[in-house]
Amino acid sequence: MPVLRTRQSDQNKFCSQCGATLSADMSSPPTAASTMPSISLAERRQLTILFCDMVGSSALSTRLDSEEQSDGIATFHSCCAKEIRALGGMVAQYLGEGVLAYLRYPTAHENDAERAILAGLCETRHVT
C-alpha cells in the first residue's frame, strides 16, 4: 500500500511529539514542560451516568397522534429532570424520548450510584 505524504511549507512546521508550532529559529522541538499545562490544575473525577428511556414509546406512538406523543415525551422529560435535580444530578441531554443525566457533577456525593438508581425508579412511578 503506498504511503501518502503531504507537502508542507516552511511556515507550517509542527513538533511531531506535541504538535506545537515550530518557528524558523528553533532547531529542536520544545520540551514537554514548556508546552504541557500543569497537571496540578486538572481534576479527575468519576461520573455516574444515568440513561433512562420511556418504556413502550414505540407502541404508544401507534395509538397517539404526533402532538399527543410530543406532550407525553415533554411530560416525561420534565418529570425526569425534576427527579434528577432533586437527587443532586444534572440533565446532560435529551435524546428522543430518553434522558442522559450526570451525577457526581457538578457536586460529588458518596452515594451517587444509589442516587442514579433512585432517580430511575422514581421516574417510572410518576409516569405511567
> pLDDT at position 127, please?
41
pLDDT tens profile 46-63: 888 889 888 888 888 889
Q: What is the mean pLDDT of the chain?
A: 75
Cell of 34: 514548556
Mean pLDDT of 91-110: 86
**Confidence grade of residue 88 (pLDDT, cut at 50, 70, 90):** confident
**CATH 3.30.70.1230 in the chain, residues?**
48-126
Question: How far apart (Å, rounded) are the C-alpha atoms in residues 32 and 3?
Answer: 29
With respect to CATH, is domain 48-126 assigned 3.30.70.1230?
yes
Question: How far apart (Å, rounded) are the C-alpha atoms in residues 12 and 8?
Answer: 6
> pLDDT at position 126, please?
44
